[in-house]
């Protein structure tokens, strides 16, 4: 299906983006990241609009999102453009989610994979913030106050998303 192919292409862009950030090739990193971010919206829209949703896609899309965002935040932290604590929050949230899903499955109580609105908003803000940071590097822009507010937004939404998933996991396991 077309949406799954788009998702796989996004996944294949992750190592390219990592390498370009490591090399300081900001324009190429920004372009590749923008393509990956836009493809995230396109694959879901196509899947819903044309009834092309698949079980594979339900797993691939969040894997691609997590691979992209975790990798980007770690690399932006390594090169000093994002505070390490922000990268740690992003990584910790995703480890918590994946760990919870695996633990529930291992305990014989698989959890449905249904992203909450706060999680979708969190993903949008993380993608937008990472794109902003890459774009600022690519175009040699300095807008420090925007970065500061972006960090606050990422931290707040990542925390809210973590709390939402923790509550969902706790409720699911208690039932």
Confidence at residue 102, expressed as pLDDT on a 0 to 100 scale:
93
* pLDDT of 115: 80
Structural domains of the chain sorted by starting position, each given as residue range(s) with its CATH number in brackets: 2-174 (1.20.120.1760)
Alpha helices in the chain (DSSP H): 2-23, 26-49, 55-78, 84-106, 117-138, 144-174
pLDDT at 20: 98
pLDDT of res. 142: 93
Going residue by residue through the chain (175 aa), what tens digit of pLDDT does each one get?
899 999 999 999 999 999 999 999 999 999 999 999 899 889 989 988 999 888 888 889 889 999 999 999 999 999 999 999 999 999 999 999 999 999 999 999 999 877 889 998 999 999 999 999 999 999 999 999 999 999 999 999 999 999 999 999 999 999 8
Query: Distance between CA atoms of 7 and 13, rounded to whole angstroms?
Result: 10
pLDDT at 112: 82
Cβ atoms 14, 60 nearer than 8 A: no
d(CA 108, CA 79): 42
Contact 35, 89 (CB under 8 A): no
pLDDT of residue 58: 84
| Lookup: tokens for 138 | 């690519």
- C-alpha 175/C-alpha 173 separation (Å) is 6
């Amino acid at each position: 299906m077309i949406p799954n192919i788009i998702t796989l292409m996004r996944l294949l862009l992750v190592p390219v983006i990592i390498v370009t950030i490591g090399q300081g090739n900001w324009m190429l990193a920004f372009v590749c990241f923008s393509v990956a971010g836009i493809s995230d919206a396109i694959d879901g829209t196509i899947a819903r609009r044309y009834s092309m949703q698949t079980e594979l896609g339900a797993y691939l899309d969040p894997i691609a999102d997590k691979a992209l965002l975790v990798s980007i935040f770690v690399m932006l932290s390594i090169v000093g453009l994002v505070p390490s604590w922000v990268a740690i929050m992003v990584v910790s949230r995703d480890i918590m989610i994946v760990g919870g899903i695996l633990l529930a499955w291992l305990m014989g109580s698989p959890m449905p994979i249904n992203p909450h609105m706060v999680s979708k908003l969190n993903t949008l803000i993380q993608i937008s913030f990472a794109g902003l940071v890459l774009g600022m590097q690519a175009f040699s822009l300095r807008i420090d106050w925007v970065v500061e507010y972006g960090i606050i937004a990422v931290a707040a939404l990542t925390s809210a998303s973590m709390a939402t998933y923790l509550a969902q996991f706790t409720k699911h396991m208690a039932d």
